[in-house]
Amino acid sequence: MAFPDVQLSRRPLHFIYLCDCSGSMQANGKMQALNQAIRQSLPGMAEVARQNPEARVLVRAVSFASQARWHLAEPTPVDQLQSNWVDLQAEGLTAMGEALKLVAAALRTPPMEQRALPPVLVLISDGAPTDDFEDGLRILMREPWAQKAVRLAIAVGHDADLEILQQFIGPAPHRAAPTGLTPTGLTPAGPAAGGAAAAGPAADRRPGEPAPRTGRRPLQASNATSLAQYIQWASTAVVGAASMPVSQVGASSQMDTNVPLPDLPPTVIGQVVW
Amino acid sequence: MSSWLEPLCCTRTGAAHTRRGTPCQDACGWLRFQDREGAPVQVMVVADGHGGARYLHSDVGSWLACHVALGTARQLLRAEASGVGVATLRATEERWQRLLAQELPRALHRRWLRAVHQHWQSLEPGEAGDGFSPLLYGTTLGLVVMTPRWWGQTGLGDWDLVRVWADGAQLLSEECDDSASGEATFSLCLPDAAAHFASRSAVETLAPMAAPFTLLLSTDGIRKSCSTDSDFLALGCYLGQAPAPVDADTTIDLAASLDRISSQGSGDDVSVAIALWRPGSPDRPSLESAAAQPAAGTGSQVHPSRPRSLDQRRGSAVAERDIPAGHPEDGAGAEASWAAGDTPRLQDNSAPAQEKKAQSRSLPRHLWLWLAALGIGCIGAVALVVPEPLSQRMRQQVGQLCATPATIRPLLEPKRPTFHGLRLGGIRQGQLLAASDRDPLKALIALSYDPVRGTLSSGPEFQGLQPCPQLQQALRQLWLEAQPPAINPLPKPQPAPGRATKSRG
């Protein structure tokens, strides 16, 4: 009996940027730095995709200013994107809630595939929403794929509304980070710190018990270098982790992320520009 | 009376795991025995270890899950009546439903916890990590029980069960996707794991004149390789229509199909356990006919995928061994009481080369030669090269033991975890030999192990030490008591060029 004509497929991994393109992003070269960071991250993301052929890494981007719209509407294989990325332009307000609704529609099944890997959503913003963010978030989080997604947030500068970004990515850490914040607002990455998934003191753990994952905080970029670093991390390390998911124990207090997040790279303490 | 044909099980290392050199996390197996009234019962299982750093030993966890589940199922269910020849089938079914949903899960979870703890204790300090946690061994488990009058299922996690008829397939059981996590699943490592079996437990009566069907139990790697559930069911129809009798070509085709599914799909490890039911008497030796044969001989270690004559089956059963004195009646220990005719067939593609060699103990030499001729499997003798200083230390150790034979057994007894660790692959011979200065007795145990036959070595490295009969007898007995169930690896197709056949690492 011949092998049947069934559609076997590598599991798609949808990576979606939600980029703040409000007028404030024009200040101090933030928009330019964001475009450059995304461009620079694409070869690394393509390499990660090549190393994980069982996942089809597909990139999309939403820009939001006075209105939200798909900047890159078609799920695009990352290797096709490197020469085709069109720069984002900044002007207008901050329709972040509307952007979340756009993404919510894209995460419905269909068009989302039944067998997709948990999507990666990266929200980048330098300010506060000017529309109904809560409504957008509510609509987004009604979608199972949004609940399953790895949701990251990058605050560009210190004017970003961290509370809003925290709502997007989920519950904040239960405990304070073990060390003080760097000028970029990040805990230095390390085996215990875990960057975006800060861990509590090892002394509280029983032998053999993995480090507790106590939630994540928005990444806070205060200059072009750190912004590029976080985007690079999201598009390579996180994509790599999401490309080869391991099962996680359901109903476990150990689990707060759908994909175990890799550590952030060591943070370069640079000048606070934004 | 209706009959179930002998299940066909296969586990293949996923394409992604092969490429990355990471261990296979899947395992599967099956077991047959008779219930209290002599009716034949079959059990088949699949398990999928979670993988990843958090679940460091989940490859062992899945293997032990299959091992323990089969043993526990046998121990509990053989004391029951499956309903053949009784009028109150409904009451019997209710009893079995309760057993599958509650009693079996509790017992096997308890035993699995003990087994993984025992494995962890057998690890060297460098491998054991900070401390023991069942999380390290996290795994799913799916189990199907088959009797002449009914069949049942239980388990927890993201396995799937499909029924295939001549004209279609139906997804009978899947894990409810009510979690906010894309890859979350229930696991044996949860403290309340036994409670999660109930929702996946069911018993179904077999109508005497019903159409034949096949049950296909699979780990999630297969379903996640398919674009849609329709594709998955179409694939189930294909896999579930393996010809009967099963022959070597069938198993090679199945392995090749699973490799194709993984490489073109999710890249995950893939496992299936397939069982065909049909009314009336079977064409080939069925469970029933095999079970009716008297017990004699020791020829049970025939490759499960090869057709076996009744004579071979007749030779497959031996008198049941008692649990060795002092042997813990849990985990692997419980299975020591199995009759050889009830030997579970654990199919596990995850063993490293050395462990594969250990698995080869279950096959007669002519079969290994046959497999070798096909270029199948990781087989062959282990050539241990023992450096002279080490050999001298071993001689000293042997001399000390044999000078006072009464001390041999008391000195070896506490080393049981070492025997189990070597058998399970958690401990490598080379590690113990390299540490002979620190623990020459463990090194001697390692040297006495023949991973090909899974028993006391008759090779020159060990025999050259001229061990006294009392030492040989004690070691032989302890290797026997450490013996896990027979493992019958399916023949592998020739690896594709450039693709290593990766096993448990």
Contact B400, B470 (CB under 8 A): no
Residue B192: closest C-alpha in chain A: A251
Chain A touched by B395 (CB under 8 Å): no
What pLDDT is attached to residue B318? 24
Structure tokens, B159: 């396995």
Residues 6+ apart with CB under 8 A from B373: none
What pLDDT is attached to residue A195? 34
CA distances from B490 to A246, B29, B221, B351 (A): 26, 11, 19, 13
- Taking an 8 Å cut-off on Cβ atoms, the answer to whether A209 and B235 are in contact is no
Statement to judge: residues B437 and B475 lie in one domain: yes
Cα B44 from Cα B143, distance rounded (Å): 6
Answer whether residue A203 shows pLDDT above 70.
no
Answer whether residue A215 shows pLDDT above 70.
no
Residues in A 82-121 with any Cβ partner in B closer than 8 A = 113-115, 117-118
User: Is B498 contained in some domain?
Assistant: no
Contact B486, B332 (CB under 8 A): no
Residue A197 DSSP one-character state: B
User: Is B503 contained in some domain?
Assistant: no
What pLDDT is attached to residue A239? 94
Chain A touched by B178 (CB under 8 Å): no
Residue B222: closest C-alpha in chain A: A8
Kindly list the domain boundaries of chain A, sorted by start residue. 11-175+218-243
B285-298: burial string, b at 16+ Cβ within 10 Å, e else: bbbbebbebeeebe
Least confident piece of the model among A231-235, B120-124, B295-299:
B295-299
Q: Select the residue of A8, A11, A250 nearest B179 (Cβ to Cβ).
A: A250
More confident of the two residues B291 and B272: B272
Answer whether residue B383 shows pLDDT above 90.
no
Contact B162, B233 (CB under 8 A): yes
Statement to judge: residues B345 and B363 lie in one domain: no
Instruction: Tell me yes or no: is domain A11-175+218-243 CATH 3.30.9.10.
Output: no
The minimum CA-CA distance between A250 and chain B, rounded to whole Å, is 5
Answer whether residue B202 shows pLDDT above 60.
yes
More confident of the two residues B286 and A153: A153
Least confident piece of the model among A61-65, A197-201, B209-213:
A197-201
Answer whether residue A137 shows pLDDT above 80.
yes
> Which of B297, B326, B349 lies at the terminal end of a domain, its last residue?
B349
Q: Is the ipTM of this complex over 0.90?
A: no
What pLDDT is attached to residue A266? 65
- Taking an 8 Å cut-off on Cβ atoms, the answer to whether A114 and B241 are in contact is no
Instruction: Tell me the β-bridge partners of B100.
Output: none
How would residue A257 be classed by pLDDT, with cut points 50, 70 and 90?
low
Chain A touched by B140 (CB under 8 Å): yes
What pLDDT is attached to residue B392? 73
Cα A9 from Cα A29, distance rounded (Å): 42
- Taking an 8 Å cut-off on Cβ atoms, the answer to whether B228 and A114 are in contact is yes
Statement to judge: residues B266 and B156 lie in one domain: yes
What pLDDT is attached to residue B484? 58
- List helix spans (H) across B265-352: 287-291, 310-314, 332-335
Question: What is the H or E stretch that residue A55 is in?
Answer: strand A55-64
Average pLDDT for B72-96: 78
Contact B455, B480 (CB under 8 A): yes
Statement to judge: residues B373 and B288 lie in one domain: no
- Taking an 8 Å cut-off on Cβ atoms, the answer to whether B136 and A208 are in contact is yes
What pLDDT is attached to residue A249? 76
Q: Select the residue of A10, A114, A249 nearest B190 (Cβ to Cβ).
A: A249
- Taking an 8 Å cut-off on Cβ atoms, the answer to whether B227 and A113 are in contact is yes
Neighbours of B251 (CB within 10 A): 23
Q: Report the domain count for chain B.
A: 2
Answer whether residue B185 shows pLDDT above 70.
yes
More confident of the two residues A255 and A181: A255
Answer whether residue A133 shows pLDDT above 90.
yes
Short-list A26, A36, A65, CA closest to A157:
A26
Residues in B 241-260 with any Cβ partner in A closer than 8 A = 241, 257, 260
Statement to judge: residues B45 and B176 lie in one domain: yes
User: Is B495 contained in some domain?
Assistant: no
Contact A13, A116 (CB under 8 A): yes
Which residues of chain B make contact with A118, given a CB cutoff of 8 A? 181-183
Average pLDDT for B263-288: 76
What pLDDT is attached to residue B302? 23
What pLDDT is attached to residue B89? 64
Average pLDDT for B388-413: 82
How would residue B248 be classed by pLDDT, with cut points 50, 70 and 90?
low
Mean pLDDT (chain A, rounded): 82
User: Is B490 contained in some domain?
Assistant: no
Contact B76, B99 (CB under 8 A): yes
Statement to judge: residues B365 and B241 lie in one domain: no
Structure tokens, B231: 């594709």
pLDDT digit string, tens, across residues B8-61: 999 999 999 998 888 899 999 999 999 888 899 999 999 999 998 889 999 999
Neighbours of B247 (CB within 10 A): 14
Answer whether residue B422 shows pLDDT above 60.
yes
More confident of the two residues A36 and B307: A36
Contacts 24+ apart (CB under 8 A), B456-465: B459/B384, B461/B384, B461/B385, B461/B386, B461/B391, B464/B391, B465/B391, B465/B394, B465/B395, B465/B398
What pLDDT is attached to residue B300? 24
Answer whether residue B464 shows pLDDT above 70.
yes
User: CA B223, B225, B229, B233 torsion: positive or negative?
Assistant: negative
Statement to judge: residues B399 and B443 lie in one domain: yes
Which residues of chain A make contact with B232, given a CB cutoff of 8 A? 6
What pLDDT is attached to residue B107? 97
Return the CATH number at B262.
3.60.40.10
Instruction: Tell me the β-bridge partners of A152.
Output: A122
**Could you tell me what percent of chain A has a pLDDT over 70?**
78
Print the domain residue range for B66.
3-349
How would residue B394 be classed by pLDDT, with cut points 50, 70 and 90?
confident
CA distances from A119 to A13, A246, B72 (A): 6, 15, 40
Cα B427 from Cα B119, distance rounded (Å): 9
Residues in A 237-256 with any Cβ partner in B closer than 8 A = 244-252, 254-255
Instruction: Tell me the β-bridge partners of B290.
Output: none
Question: Which amino acid would we find at residue B141?
Answer: L
Cα A146 from Cα B247, distance rounded (Å): 47
- What DSSP assignment string belongs to B175-214? -----SSTTEE--TTSTTGGGGGGGG-EEEEPPTTPPPEE
Least confident piece of the model among A47-56, A146-155, B448-457, B479-488:
B479-488
Q: Is omega for the bond preceding B208 within 30 degrees of 0, making it cis?
A: no
More confident of the two residues B33 and B89: B33
Chain B touched by A204 (CB under 8 Å): no
More confident of the two residues A186 and A267: A267
Angle between helices B248-264 and B229-240 (to 10 degrees): 160
Cα A168 from Cα B11, distance rounded (Å): 41
Mean pLDDT (chain B, rounded): 73
Cα B505 from Cα B426, distance rounded (Å): 10
pLDDT digit string, tens, across residues A229-251: 999 999 999 999 998 777 767 65
What pLDDT is attached to residue B245? 63
What pLDDT is attached to residue A126? 96
CA distances from B137 to B52, B56, B59, B383, B427 (A): 11, 7, 7, 31, 16
- What DSSP assignment string belongs to A213-263? ---B--EEE-SHHHHHHHHHHIIIIIHHHHHS---EETT-TT--SSSPPPP
pLDDT digit string, tens, across residues B227-246: 899 999 999 999 987 666 66
Residue A144: closest C-alpha in chain B: B180
Answer whether residue B470 shows pLDDT above 80.
yes
Neighbours of B337 (CB within 10 A): 17
Statement to judge: residues B55 and B169 lie in one domain: yes
Cα B409 from Cα B452, distance rounded (Å): 24
Answer whether residue A47 shows pLDDT above 50.
yes
- Taking an 8 Å cut-off on Cβ atoms, the answer to whether A8 and B131 are in contact is no
How would residue B455 be classed by pLDDT, with cut points 50, 70 and 90?
confident
How would residue B94 be classed by pLDDT, with cut points 50, 70 and 90?
confident
Phi, psi of B168 (to 5 degrees): 165, -175
Average pLDDT for B131-148: 95
Short-list A132, A130, A145, A136, CA closest to A168:
A136
Statement to judge: residues B242 and B384 lie in one domain: no
Statement to judge: residues B455 and B339 lie in one domain: no
Least confident piece of the model among A44-48, A110-114, A129-133:
A110-114
Statement to judge: residues B384 and B292 lie in one domain: no
Cα A58 from Cα A60, distance rounded (Å): 7
Question: What is the H or E stretch that residue B168 is in?
Answer: strand B168-173
User: Is B329 contained in some domain?
Assistant: yes
Phi, psi of A242 (to 5 degrees): -75, -20
pLDDT digit string, tens, across residues B332-373: 333 322 323 355 566 544 433 333 333 333 333 332 222 223
- Taking an 8 Å cut-off on Cβ atoms, the answer to whether A8 and B228 are in contact is no
B262 alpha-carbon distance from chain centroid: 21
The minimum CA-CA distance between A62 and chain B, rounded to whole Å, is 23
The minimum CA-CA distance between A207 and chain B, rounded to whole Å, is 4
What pLDDT is attached to residue B503? 31
Q: Is omega for the bond preceding A111 within 30 degrees of 0, making it cis?
A: yes
Phi, psi of A124 (to 5 degrees): -120, 125
Statement to judge: residues B406 and B307 lie in one domain: no
